[in-house]
Amino acid sequence: MGERKKILLTSAVTVMAVSLCVGWGAIWTLYRAEFSVQRDRLLTMLDGQARLMESVARFDAAHSQDVHPDGPRAATLDQILDAHRRPWEFGETGEVVVGYRVEDHIEFLTELRFPMPGERRSIAIDSELAEPMRRALAGERAWTVGPDYRGETVLAVFEPVAALDLGLVAKIDLAEVRAPVVRGAVIVTFTALVFAFVGAIVSLQISNRLVQRIEEGQARISAVLASAVDPIIAIDSRGIVQSASESVEHVFGWRPDEIIGRNVNVLMPSPYREEHDSYLANYLRTQERKIIGIGREVLGRRKDGSEFPMDLSVSEARIGTERIFTGIVRDSTERGKAEEQILNLTRRVRLATESAEIGIWDYEIEDNILIWDDRMYALYGIRQEDFSGAYNAWTEGVHPEDLPRAQSVLQDAIASGTAFHCQFRVKWPSGEVRDIQAHAVCLRGSDGTVRRMIGVNWDITEEKRAKDLLEALNLKLKQQAAQLITEKERAEQADHVKSAFLAAMSHELRTPLNSIIGFTGILLEGLAGPLNEEQNKQLGMVWASADHLLDLINDVLDISKIEAGQLEVDRRSFDLRAAVNKVVVTATPLAEKKTVALRAHIAPEVGQIVSDRRRVEQILLNLVGNAIKFTEEGEVHVECEVNQRWAVMRVTDTGVGIKPEDMNQLFEPFRQIDDGLGRQREGTGLGLSICQKLAGLLGGEVTAESRWGVGSTFTVRLPLGKAAGGTQ
């Protein structure tokens, strides 16, 4: 590569890098601003709704005692449900949910915009997904970023409605908040690349044909990116859909990829569907316009066949010799519903403000005119005839200690044109001090400057006192929780030391027991000389007792090793069929002794498995032994099969079964379940606990199903594993 080309290439890369740095810096700033705007908008909206609900609740409490059979609170909840029969939604993903606590879970009062798994309408109170609603029900008013009930990351603000024991959460997907910024980032990145590439093209004298293709691509992208919230569809001169925005699915029910490449008349009802192609051909021939460049209300057809009115505007663009028609659609059926909702909301606000002790004020900034309603006079403890109607009427009522801060917040809101939110105290002429919450919005004039503010005040004295008390209680609870955690850690450490001690002591006990068993066996076999009948009987009792004690110590050793983290598993490839058969053969004498039928069925596909054969046989033998022990008559059935990547073994018996109330204690160590016959079975109560823990070490699990008086089924699921072996 020549020096000239190197310089030109370096210049192109530098231009691109600088453009990207500047553009991404601006995008980051815009993102932070967009996030703050969305958060403040949600806080303002939610705060107003909470105040409105509390106002309606207080009104119903005062005037609706006999209107509803369940009382004024139920009347208020019915009004909320009537106002929000459909999901309370905004934007593409935003919604407001109302919830209340029922024992250890949260119930949603209003419809959810998105379905929950299993069509549930509740969520556990301690779930991470319930954090905003849980905190709202705890009396907090704040915002957070985290997962919602769908698991999507959202920006959520929350507010309590103390009068109704409700919580309000307004949330919007973080992806939607980022969307404008992401589009801006794409445009900035694309623009930077285009600048660098075009510079390289000019510098390196690329052919005019390539430049023309780039210009055509830019024009096509510009046409597609001329998007809005409403669905956008681009078609060619044959009526074939070239692109469609994501919002098409919301309005028409079609996913964009389902209609791209198809004739746009699939979105039209008859007879317009059949006439569309001829209309388009007539326009191309005569240039006679009926919709293009004009716009009008037409009928649309959804994927399910339903029809709806919509506003359609169509523009035409030429890209080289090709014509692209871009249509923007707006479902006009929602407009009438929205107007009705606004009217109803206005009536409710008027009713609430008149009955809920919320004061409304209006401040003309340039003319220094302050207008209060009747409730404002009561909030500030003055008479209407003593009100001057100017800005200083407010400053005279604010507590002197809070006045500088309140004035500063107010002036900042006026200067920036943002919402005014402030808490301050007012001092009545009588000397009484009350806490006030104030909210207001700024209204701009035609020149863009703030000319007017409209806001509300309400008394939060009792609420603030309750909040201070709650914060003190929360602090005390946190201190107690920290103390409990410390005690828990100490207990766990002590339990670990206990398990290690038992594991070591079990080894010391097994050595002499093995000697007792061995020498007793020698005597019983007559290797040390003949024994009489009584000696055989006594030595047999010694041997049986020592063997039973050894089994108990082995169980204690196993459970102690597992809890101390000292048990090793040796994963090797072995024949599972042979292992199952070995267990069945081993357990057969025990079954024959009790006249219990022991049957086995091993599926043909059962073969090699990678696991610890000794531990697998130990698990299965323990389960089969338990089944025989608790079965007085009938049979014990052992099954083995392969299910995808798992080996599944089942042990089914016709014994006494397990009571439902005992199922949750089944796998607890040192726990023996009552068989209902008043008999104490032999053993330590460690067998099932060891089986479950061993299965967990092998990457599997042991589960149980039982019906009292019918029998039980224990299922062991173990992974088939990989071909390699080793010790863990």
| Highest mean predicted confidence (pLDDT) among 150-159, 419-428, 507-516 | 419-428
Residue 424 has pLDDT above 90, yes or no: yes
302-334 pLDDT per residue, tens: 999 998 888 888 888 887 778 888 888 888 887
Average pLDDT across the chain, whole number: 80
pLDDT 10s digits, 15-34: 667 666 766 677 777 777 77
The residues near 406 (Cβ < 8 Å, ≥ 6 apart) are: 398, 422, 424, 438
- In the chain, the percentage of residues whose pLDDT exceeds 90 is 20
Around Cβ 3, how many Cβ atoms within 10 Å?
A: 7
Per-residue model confidence (pLDDT) at position 604: 93
User: Is 666 in contact with 673 (CB distance < 8 Å)?
Assistant: yes
Which pLDDT belongs to residue 73?
78
**What pLDDT was estimated at residue 681?**
53
Segment among 174-188, 607-621, 647-661, 692-706 with least mean pLDDT:
174-188
The Cα 364–Cα 126 span in angstroms is: 48
Least confident range from 2-6, 256-260, 474-478, 636-640: namely 2-6
pLDDT at 514 over 60: yes
Q: Specify the range with the lowest mean pLDDT, choosing from 84-98, 247-261, 461-475.
A: 84-98
pTM: 0.33
141-179 residue pLDDT tens? 898 988 887 888 888 899 998 888 888 888 888 888 887
State mean pLDDT over 420-433: 93
Q: For every residue of 253-302, which 3-state class applies, written as one string?
A: CCCHHHHCCCEHHHHCCCCHHHHHHHHHHHHHHHCCCCCECCCEEEEEEC
pLDDT at 673: 63
Do residues 393 and 439 lie in contact, with contact meaning Cβ atoms separated by under 8 Å? no
List the alpha helices (DSSP H) in 525-575: 533-564
Residue 678 confidence (pLDDT) above 50: no
**Neighbour tally for 176: CB within 10 Å:** 15
* pLDDT at 496 > cutoff 70: no
**Tokens standing for residue 640:** 């083995």
pLDDT of 238 above 70: yes
62 closest CA partner among 347, 357, 436: 357
Spatial separation of the C-alpha atoms in residues 27 and 40, rounded to whole Å: 20
Average pLDDT over residues 284-313: 83
